[in-house]
A and B are shown apart, each in its own frame.
Chain A
Amino acid sequence: MTQMTAEQAMHLALREEMQRDPRVLLLGEGVATKNNDLVRDFGSERVRNTPLAEAIIAGTAAGAAASGLRPVIDLLFAPFLTYAMDALVNSAGKLRFMSGGQFEFPLVALAMTGSGWNVGAQHNHNLEAMFVHAPGLRVVMPSEPADFRGLLKAAIRDPNPVLFFADMALLYQTGEVAEGTDDGDHLVPLGKAAVRRPGTDVTLVSYAKTVAVCLEAAEQLARQRIAAEVIDLRSLKPLDEQAVLKSVRKTGRLIVVHEASGLCGIAAEIAALAATRAFDALRAPVVRLTGPDAPAASSAVLEQAAVPRAEAVVRAAVDLLRGGRQTPVSAVEEGLLAL
């Protein structure tokens, strides 16, 4: 095992997959500029800088993927994905179906998002749920370096188009990553959640940077003799429904936490999952703690205020356990209350 940042873990994954499969190529704004070593080792044909034109980058990836290549495209910041939406949603997501299964689109689109860099709403927008809503696409959003590597490797090998969201706040955080050999052990399969901390009293479901928020909350809750189980979804589509249901059946209480806004978001889906498939096990209403329906602010204070905090998670959990609040407030409210 070795310590590396999430960004280094992604780079390692790219290198390993390019080494393993000559059909893998990297396209995007500055990918050749920033990855001299990949250009050196795999050639400029497979590591290509592109114009600042997300629509044609994504369209080219769709066309190339359907024609036998396995492109990874770096679209930089998630809001730029809206320019790439046609190629990703209408082409890569739909043309397998619309062609009666004749074509596949094994491509990976990388995009950074989330608070932490004070870059404002046109560089920071957690729009992962938009892509979850698009048929044919896979969506992943890891929380720790080993998963950045393992999920990226699995995404590159997946025969479907995968949106890979990298939480900016996590990119330079370090974690343990297994070193060396390129074997299946380092793959993190799509659609598989991870239990980050076991517990019996309340289930905290999250992904990306708010997994750490939940772990911190769980630590605080432990001091109050409340055992919180923390589940890191890792993949948003496919969703590991069994992992969520298993935990909810055990704890009977569910809090879902994410930075993206709440309306029609991942937390809503998880809440619906619990309500429809584990209603009998629920001992309290489901709580959602999410960011607000507002563009991300640039100002550091406001930017951070949009992210659910551990204190809010703790308070929600305590309320659930003590039955103090029968109609838990929306997440944002919780987040702001915790300020």
Chain B
Amino acid sequence: MKDLQSPIETDTGTSARLQRLETMLLIRAYEEQLVTLQQQGAAGGTCTSVGQEACATGVVAALDQRDRILTNHRSGGHLLARGADPGRMMAEVLGRIDGYCAGRSGSLHISDRELGVVLTSTIVGGELSMAPGVALAQKMGQGQPGGIVAVFFGDGAASEGIFHEALNLAVHWRLPLLFVCENNQWQAFVHRLETMADDAIASWARGHGLPVQSVDGNDVDAVYAAARDAVQAIRADGQPRFLELQTYRRRGHYEPDDQFYVDATELETWAQRDPIQGQIDRLRQQGLLDEAGLTAMQQRVRERIDAALTFAQDSPWPTTETLTDFVYA
């Protein structure tokens, strides 16, 4: 069952902005639920995107049904923004048969062909290696007409050599590919300032000769606007574009990484720039959201997550006879 409460949308009106806020709330609540499950010992470790919800929400909102997405281990937001059912996602996290990948993916590698979220890789840079091929297939007629491909990765993946190989090929072969770098400042356990001389990934991308835009990744409206422009441009000329979204990974690399190595001031600074609270404040100031509206939204999200958890926990485990299913076609 596709989740109809998060339609793929393309407008900038009030309802769309409220919808995007609700999507961000859903992503946050979903991932917090995964954290709780991990702490209870009910689920394995996971990688959250807490603090990065505006990136997923804004970019995915700028795509439409015919487009395809490749993502990575912080993929919960991309999937939920695309309209994935949190119940099936959570079932996957718990290793149950109703999960999107029949329990073979776990939290980190969820993909769903119908949603167009394809080929999730958790080998850092793996998504970048496959994205040109998906875009080549699109260009050669193996996709829905007019579709483009978006690939999400972080500043960590940008430090892999494959980043440059993928950009070079996409530019040279004129592939309809949107590179989305969520620069969340942390590369596993190392701050990016420790690993790169440059201040931003955008300057690396510019060297490959494609249009590059840097955006505040914690402002969902700004992300949406930039992504919409980039998507329109790709549809118009079939050539790749690059977005760098400046954001921040608010939790550890994985659960239960307690981030003892992160400066408390840095954490607090970015907490003050929380993408969800920021959007709530903006919508309130613009008179588009009141307390009752926000409460109702939060209530809906809570109910969906509760229902998702129930669905996931009720879903059966795979039978062990199916251990080697799906290996070979």
Q: Footprint of B on A, CB under 8 Å? A: 23, 25, 45, 48, 50-51, 53, 55-56, 58-69, 71, 86-87, 90-91, 95-104, 106, 135-136, 158-160
Contact = CB atoms under 8 A, between A and B. Distances in A.
B121 interface: yes
Given A99-B101, A103-B113, A160-B329, A63 B137 contact: yes
Interface stretch (B54-62, B126-134, B196-204, B246-254): B126-134
A100 B133 contact: no
Given A55-B129, A60-B169, A69 B142 contact: yes
Contacts of A86: 123, 125-126, 129, 162
Contact of A96 (B138, B142, B165, B326): B326
A99 B329 contact: no
A143 B105 CA distance: 39
B326 A100 contact: yes
Contact of B140 (A45, A61, A99, A104): A45
B121 A95 contact: yes
B119 A136 contact: no
Interface centre among A25, A67, A103, A135 (most CB of B within 10 A): A67
B111 A61 contact: no
Nearest to B139: A45
Given A67-B142, A91-B130, A100-B326, A51 B168 contact: yes
A53 B325 CA distance: 33
28 contacts: A23-B142, A45-B140, A48-B173, A50-B169, A53-B165, A55-B162, A56-B166, A58-B129, A59-B126, A59-B130, A59-B132, A63-B129, A63-B131, A63-B136, A67-B133, A91-B119, A91-B123, A95-B119, A96-B326, A96-B329, A97-B326, A98-B109, A99-B113, A100-B102, A100-B104, A101-B102, A103-B119, A136-B328
B105 A67 contact: no
B13 interface: no
B118 interface: yes
Contact of A67 (B99, B134, B169): B134
Contacts of A68: 137, 142-143
A159 B165 contact: no
Nearest to B137: A67
A243 to B, nearest CB: 20
Interface string B91-123: 000000001111111000101110000111101
Q: Which 3 A-B pairs have the closest CB atoms?
A: A63-B133, A59-B129, A68-B142
A98 B162 contact: no
A66 B130 contact: yes
B145 interface: no
Contact of B101 (A50, A51, A59, A100): A100
Interface in B172-223: 172-173
B161 interface: yes
B327 interface: yes
Interface centre among A58, A65, A97, A102 (most CB of B within 10 A): A102
Contacts of A56: 129, 132, 162, 165-166, 168-169
A87 B129 contact: yes
A189 B165 CA distance: 35
A97 B318 CA distance: 14
Contact of A55 (B68, B101, B138, B161): B161
Contacts of B112: 102
B143 A67 contact: yes
A159 B328 CA distance: 8
A60 B329 CA distance: 20
B328 A101 contact: no
Contacts of B104: 97-100
A106 B120 CA distance: 18
A67 to B, nearest CB: 3
Contacts of B325: 97, 101
Contact of A60 (B70, B103, B136): B136
Contacts of A59: 126, 128-130, 132-133, 162, 165-166
Contacts of B326: 96-97, 99-101
Nearest to A102: B113
B130 A87 contact: yes
Given A87-B126, A98-B101, A100-B102, 12 more contacts: A67-B118, A67-B137, A67-B138, A67-B143, A86-B126, A87-B129, A90-B121, A97-B104, A98-B109, A99-B113, A100-B101, A158-B329
Nearest to B165: A56
Given A23-B142, A56-B162, A102 B132 contact: no
A137 to B, nearest CB: 9
Contact of A90 (B101, B126, B135, B327): B126
A55 B121 contact: no
Contacts of A95: 109, 111, 119, 121
Nearest to B92: A100
Contacts of A69: 133, 136-137, 140, 142
Contacts of A101: 102, 325-326
